[in-house]
Amino acid sequence: MAAPMQHEDLLKLKSFIEFVDSNPTVLNMPQLQFVKDFVEKFGGKVPAGDFKMPDASAGGKCPFGGDAGAKAKKPDSGAADSADANASDDSEDEESLSEPESDVELDMEGVIEADSDPAQPMGDSAKEPTEEEVDQAGDLRAQAASAYGQQKFDEAIAFYTKAIELNPGNALFHAKRGQAFLKLKKPNACIRDCDKALELNCDSAAAYKFRGRARRLLGDFELAAKDLRQACKLDFDEETDEWLKEVTPNAKKIEQHRVKQERRQAERKIKERQRAQRRARKEQAKQSASSGGGSTGAFPGGFPGGFPGGFPGGFPGAAGGGGGMPGMPGGVDMADLMGAMKDPEVAAAMQDILANPANISKYVSNPKIFNLMKKFVPGGDLGAAFAQAEEKSGEPSEPKTKKGSADFVDDGLD
């Protein structure tokens, strides 16, 4: 008759029993209470006292292979190395995140201090000038051009302002007044006039040209290059092209610096996310270690799944610790078993089944016990387990009547 366990699992169980024989106080562990009850049920007695792992310094060896002390120290060493590595990574990340951003080196020759004069009058945009006002504004523009030619820039600005009040919808008046403001080193006033001109006429090459020059004087090289480039597209002239060539080197440096900073910011976000993930894993590991279950401390000795001495694969039939009964479905570890054993109903059922394996059939209608047993039966096949248990107990299973057999009579009522 075949045993209900694989040969290698029987060997593991034998090793565990031998260990218990040498260290019977291990059964005083709360997690092994069901085994202790099983022993006492048959008249056995477990000595009182707390279990202590065999001393490695005195030559004590774990019966399941390896030195007890070495087994205990390995996780600590690995944990320390991991902690050191994590600390080193966090330190490097802190240094990289705290590195000051480098400043781009620009040629600031020709950059002037920004003007802060009150905004100049822009006229009433809703006004519809008469033909007479349009003619008067044209005459004022001619006088402004004459004053500008004589380098009387304040006078030219005054004439352009009067022309704008008469005909505020003329974009060229604003652009030309902005040009005069440039001559007086008032780039902000120039930009205001050019903004208004482009509001009235988005294709004003003069407005783009003078605004680009004003931005260059303020050191805003990227926007200056953009305006001057657009002015060249609309109405190319050599002066605009020369101004564009002047600002292009600084504009490229700024663009390259911005791309570099964007890349650094992206890398910083990735490192911050990785550091947060490492911290979360460390916190999770601490919680797992302090929970007293799983592979870290329910039992001393480094036993995967909680049994002493490094018992390979955990409790026979369980999946904890990377081993267990061959053919057993995965997803079950000793933490599952120990947690289930805290339920008095489950503990009583386990004792009943250990006393007589055939009693497993009593719990088929109990989902709690039935589903738990499926996890610890080879292949999850309880049918085969029933047959083996009944064969062992000498109680043959009752044959099932099949439709179509000689004993079946169809009365035609279905």
Is the pLDDT score of 401 beyond 50? no
Q: Which tokens is 289 given?
A: 């270690």
Quickly state the pLDDT bin for 45 (edges 50, 70, 90).
Answer: confident
State how far the Cα of 88 lies from the Cα of 333, in Å rounded to an integer.
33
pLDDT of residue 140: 96
Beta bridge partners of 61: 67
CA atoms of 231 and 243, how far apart (whole Å): 11
What's this model's pTM, rounded to 2 decimal places?
0.46
Of the candidates 46, 44, 22, the one whose C-alpha atom is nearest the C-alpha of residue 32 is: 46
CA distances 236 to 128, 223, 358, Å, are: 32, 18, 100
Residue 310, pLDDT score: 37
User: pLDDT value at position 52?
Assistant: 75
Residues 217-225, mean pLDDT to the nearest whole number? 95
341 neighbors 360 (Cβ within 8 angstroms): no
CA distance 274 to 280: 10
**Residue 328's closest CA among 305, 348, 297?**
305
pLDDT at residue 14, rounded to an integer: 82
CB atoms within 10 A of CB 371: 11
Torsion angles phi and psi, residue 327, rounded to 5: 90, -10
pLDDT band at 393 (very low <50, low <70, confident <90, very high): low
Rg of the chain's alpha carbons, rounded to an integer?
45
Could you tell me if 375 and 332 are in contact, meaning their C-beta atoms sit under 8 angstroms apart?
A: yes
The stretch 106-127 carries a mean pLDDT of 91
Q: Which residue has the higher pLDDT, 355 or 269?
A: 269
**Residue 239, SS3 per DSSP:** helix
Q: CA-CA distance, 179 to 197, in Å (whole number)?
A: 12
Whole-number pLDDT of residue 23: 85
Distance CA 368, CA 378 (A): 18
Residue 397 is predicted with a pLDDT of 45
Which SS3 state, helix, strand or coil, does residue 180 take? helix
Percent of the chain predicted with pLDDT > 70: 66
pLDDT tens, position by position, 336-372: 667 777 788 888 887 888 788 777 778 888 887 877 7
The DSSP secondary structure of 33-64, one letter per residue, reads HHHHHHHHHTT--PPPS---PPPGGGT-B-TT
